[in-house]
């Protein structure tokens, strides 16, 4: 057994001796740059999510402000934009991303939970919030408006909290 053990040790030493020269072929600066890029790639989804969250937050607060001012059609418009994760300009960007192969919620899309390209708003939440927006437009009195707002706000806050 001893000769074999000695052989392994020798081979191991050869291997150890060879490693530094292999590592040196990729300059440290490029490895560092690649490491930075990897962090960026891995953080892109989070950045997208944060951006969409900020966008939705804007629509939510816009809707709240219009409600306070008694501008109910405008509030309903903001509610619809929350439900749709932005207006048609955003839909255009979403379309480009999807066509470029970027699916933020690919698994959710396959299960029918999210619309294609949607980041935070689920299909169910979207449907309910659009219904609330319509109800807000059609509301004849404050009781109906309050009911529509409560329904919307519950889904909106749940979406923003996730």
Residues near other proteins, by CB under 8 A = 73, 76-78, 80-81, 83-84, 87-89, 91-93, 95-96, 98-99, 115, 123, 126-127, 130, 133-134, 137-138
Closest separation between CB of residue 80 and other proteins, Å? 4
Residues with Cβ within 8 Å of 128's Cβ and at least 6 positions away in sequence, in order, are 151, 152, 155
Residue among 117, 114, 151 nearest 131 (CA):
151
Smallest distance from the beta carbon of 125 to other proteins, in angstroms?
10
In the complex, what is the shortest distance from the CB of residue 83 to other proteins, in angstroms, rounded to a whole number? Answer: 7
Nearer to other proteins, 81 or 119 (CB): 81
Q: Comparing C-alpha atoms, which of 151, 146, 160, 24 is closest to residue 85?
A: 160
Which residue, 35 or 158, has its beta carbon nearer to other proteins?
158
Sign of CA dihedral 116, 122, 123, 128: negative
What is the number of alpha carbons within 13 Å of residue 160 lying toward its C-beta? Answer: 17
- By beta-carbon proximity to other proteins, the closer residue of 6 and 61 is 61
């Amino acid at each position: 057994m001893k000769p074999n053990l000695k052989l392994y040790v020798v081979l191991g030493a050869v291997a150890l001796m060879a490693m530094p020269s292999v590592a040196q072929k990729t300059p440290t600066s490029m490895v560092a740059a690649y490491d930075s890029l990897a962090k960026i790639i891995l953080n892109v989804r989070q950045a997208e999510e944060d951006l969409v969250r900020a966008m939705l937050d804007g629509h939510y607060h816009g809707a709240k402000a219009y409600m306070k001012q008694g501008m109910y059609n405008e509030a309903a418009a903001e509610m619809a934009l929350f439900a749709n994760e932005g207006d048609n300009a955003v839909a255009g960007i979403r379309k480009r991303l999807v066509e470029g192969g970027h699916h933020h919620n690919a698994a959710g899309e396959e299960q029918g939970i999210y619309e294609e390209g949607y980041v935070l708003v689920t299909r169910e939440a979207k449907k309910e919030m659009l219904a609330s927006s319509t109800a807000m437009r059609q509301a004849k009195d404050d009781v109906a408006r309050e009911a529509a707002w409560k329904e919307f706000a519950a889904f909106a806050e749940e979406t923003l909290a996730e």
